[in-house]
């Protein structure tokens, strides 16, 4: 039993340099890596506004290095009650547009889903020009029914 584990370790030591060589070759001949979607952050732009009929208007800033990122295309949006332990409960989200540049507004129909003021998570995915990966993030916001 002991002998087997020693030879397995020896095999691993032998295999690692070969793997490192493979990685080196990949970085020389392979395509350039896609720009990473790092350094981006979604932030609540201000208190949510009630739009009547159980609807809330939520404004979210997309920032990079503290600066607004305009012109992003929102490709994913979700509002759920994860912050109070009910992530399976979701409310419809409608994208309203970008105003001002770098701030993205959403209408969330939370009232019919939950009749108390509580914290909701708004999770977003955005396509930013020149960034291959979808930029994703989440904010928490207290919504009135």
Tell me which residues touch Cu ion (CB under 5 A): 81, 86, 89, 114
Beta-carbon-side half-sphere exposure of residue 4 (alpha carbons within 13 Å)? 1
For the bound state, the minimum distance from the C-beta of residue 78 to Cu ion, rounded and expressed in Å, comes to 14
> Closer to Cu ion at the Cβ: 51 or 86?
86
> Closer to Cu ion at the Cβ: 51 or 89?
89
> Closer to Cu ion at the Cβ: 62 or 81?
81
Tokens of 81: 């009650």
Tokens of 145: 């029914």
> Closer to Cu ion at the Cβ: 58 or 79?
79
For the bound state, the minimum distance from the C-beta of residue 6 to Cu ion, rounded and expressed in Å, comes to 56
Query: Cα separation of 35 and 131, whole Å?
Result: 6
For the bound state, the minimum distance from the C-beta of residue 81 to Cu ion, rounded and expressed in Å, comes to 4
Q: Which residues contact 53 (CB under 8 A, 6 or more apart)?
A: 109, 111
Query: Cα separation of 52 and 40, whole Å?
Result: 32
For the bound state, the minimum distance from the C-beta of residue 82 to Cu ion, rounded and expressed in Å, comes to 9
């Amino acid at each position: 039993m002991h002998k087997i584990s020693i030879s397995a370790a020896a095999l691993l030591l032998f295999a690692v340099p070969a793997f490192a060589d493979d990685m080196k070759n990949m970085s020389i001949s392979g395509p350039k890596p896609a720009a990473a979607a790092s350094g981006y952050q979604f932030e609540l732009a201000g208190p949510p506004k009630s739009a009547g009929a159980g609807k809330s208007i939520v404004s979210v800033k997309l920032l990079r290095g503290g600066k607004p990122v305009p012109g992003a295309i929102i490709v994913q949006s979700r509002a759920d009650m994860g912050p109070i332990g009910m992530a399976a409960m979701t409310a419809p989200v409608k994208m309203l547009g970008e105003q001002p540049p770098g701030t993205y507004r959403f209408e969330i129909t939370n009232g019919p889903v939950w009749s108390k003021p509580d914290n909701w998570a708004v999770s977003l995915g955005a396509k930013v020009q020149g960034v291959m990966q979808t930029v994703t993030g989440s904010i928490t916001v207290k919504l009135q029914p």
